[in-house]
């Protein structure tokens, strides 16, 4: 059985075919689809390849790699080849890959660092590259080896009894919401930062908007149609909701930081905005068709999207 490295990159312009949706392929969308399980839907199992398709066989392992354009995360997933096919419409070969969800979740929590992978393969870009010469080193890095993930293994005992689900559906996130006029520019902002807009559910509780970064951070947004007199109460309500959502989210993702974002229709009084700023909450309001941010909110959001931990909870 051979092992192969399959690089994914948001800059490559490839997509995951999930039903009728085409979702840009990136580390963050791979993460969300693994968490949701939809990475293995029938329409999504064909992965195009440009090399080594003549020697790869069913049963071989495929390791999913995210490089510099996706947070330089390294190996974040694993699957098995179920078949190798010529795709007439694509005019190229493709692997039928079944992703191992449980092991991929472990790799998402404990990636094999990109710097180590680049010691094996200097330029891991083309799909796919052989890892067979580095099998021993590879096995030593896998998080499910004895003792390597003991901390991660213990985390399951800390999980709350309430289960969460995470899934991608750009149409769902763009549906006509009560706060749609506030949320629409936020979706655009998050996507420009390279984040993947998702829907995170805690039973019946659903944040107005959520997004995952390629490195594992989650931005949670609550939108309020405030008026001059209601702003304080609106902010108190939004902050309480965000704390509860983050607590529930950490129950299933104890090592994944969250960043709070309260989005308002009108500019809040300075005292209220300053309070949120000091508690590392991003504050924005609508300014015609654009977003306006208070203080360092936009900078902290940008750093969080890139993997900087300035402001997460």
CA 1 to chain centre: 30
Whether pTM > 0.85 for this model: the answer is: no
- DSSP for 108-177, please give it: HHS-B-HHHHHHH-SS--SS-EE-GGGHHHHHHH-TTSTTTTHHHHHGGGG--SS-EEEE--HHHHTS--
% of the chain residues with pLDDT over 90: 35
- pLDDT at residue number 178: 44
Percentage of the chain exceeding pLDDT 70: 87
Domain count, the chain: 2
Mean pLDDT of the residues in the chain: 82
- Examine the domain organization and report whether 68 and 46 are in the same domain: yes
Among residues 124, 158, 192, the one where a domain terminates is 158
| pLDDT category of residue 298 using cuts at 50, 70 and 90 | very high
Among the candidates 132, 158, 184, a domain finishes at 158
Structural domain for 57, as ranges: 3-158
- Asked whether residue 135 falls in the same domain as residue 198, the answer is no
Place of tokens 């990109």: 114
Please check whether residue 311 lies inside any domain of the structure: no
E-only strand ranges, the chain: 3-8, 15-18, 21-24, 46-49, 61-66, 74-87, 92-99, 129-130, 164-167, 196-202, 209-212, 218-224, 258-264, 282-287, 290-293
Does 167 score more than 90 pLDDT?
no
Query: Which two three-digit tokens encode residue 277?
Result: 């700023």
Interval 106-128 mean pLDDT:
87
Q: Could you tell me if 17 and 33 lie in one domain?
A: yes
Q: How much is the pLDDT for 308?
A: 61
Tell me the CATH number at 287: 3.40.1350.10
312 in a domain, yes or no? no
User: If 0-12 CB within 10 Å is exposed, 13-18 middle and 19+ buried, where does residue 125 land?
Assistant: middle
Per-residue pLDDT, averaged over 141-149, amounts to 61
CA distance 50 to 98: 19
182/106 same-domain check: no
pLDDT digits (tens, 9 = 90+) for 236-293: 999 999 999 999 988 877 888 999 999 999 999 999 999 999 999 999 998 877 899 9
Q: Does the bond joining 128 to the residue before it have cis omega, within 30 degrees of 0?
A: yes
Rounded-to-integer distance, Cα 204 and Cα 230, Å? 26
């Amino acid at each position: 059985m051979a092992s192969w490295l399959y690089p994914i990159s948001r800059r490559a312009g490839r997509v995951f075919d999930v039903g009728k949706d085409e979702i840009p392929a990136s580390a963050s969308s791979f993460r969300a689809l693994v968490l949701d399980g939809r990475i293995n839907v029938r329409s999504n199992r064909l992965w195009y390849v440009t090399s080594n398709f003549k020697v790869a066989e069913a049963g071989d392992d495929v390791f999913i790699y995210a490089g510099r354009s996706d947070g330089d995360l390294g190996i974040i997933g694993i699957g098995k080849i179920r078949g190798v096919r010529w795709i007439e419409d694509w005019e190229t070969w493709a692997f039928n890959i079944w992703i191992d969800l449980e092991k991929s979740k472990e790799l998402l929590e404990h990636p094999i660092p990109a710097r180590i992978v680049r010691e094996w393969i200097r330029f891991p870009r083309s799909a796919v590259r052989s890892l067979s010469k580095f099998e021993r080193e590879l096995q030593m890095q896998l998080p499910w080896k004895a003792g390597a993930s003991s901390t991660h293994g213990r985390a399951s005992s800390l999980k709350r009894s309430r289960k969460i689900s995470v899934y991608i559906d750009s149409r769902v996130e763009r549906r006509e919401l009560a706060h749609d006029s506030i949320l629409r520019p936020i979706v655009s902002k998050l996507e420009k930062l390279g984040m993947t807009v998702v829907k995170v559910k805690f039973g019946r509780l659903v944040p107005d908007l959520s997004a995952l970064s390629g490195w594992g951070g989650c931005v949670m947004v609550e939108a309020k149609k405030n008026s001059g007199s209601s702003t304080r109460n609106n902010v108190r309500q939004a902050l309480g909701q965000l704390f509860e959502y983050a607590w529930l989210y950490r129950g299933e993702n104890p090592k994944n930081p969250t960043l709070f974002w309260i989005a308002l229709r009108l500019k809040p009084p300075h005292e209220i905005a300053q309070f949120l700023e000091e508690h590392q909450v991003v504050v924005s309001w609508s300014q015609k068709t654009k977003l306006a941010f208070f203080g360092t909110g936009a900078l902290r959001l940008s750093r969080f999207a890139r993997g900087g931990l300035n402001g997460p909870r």
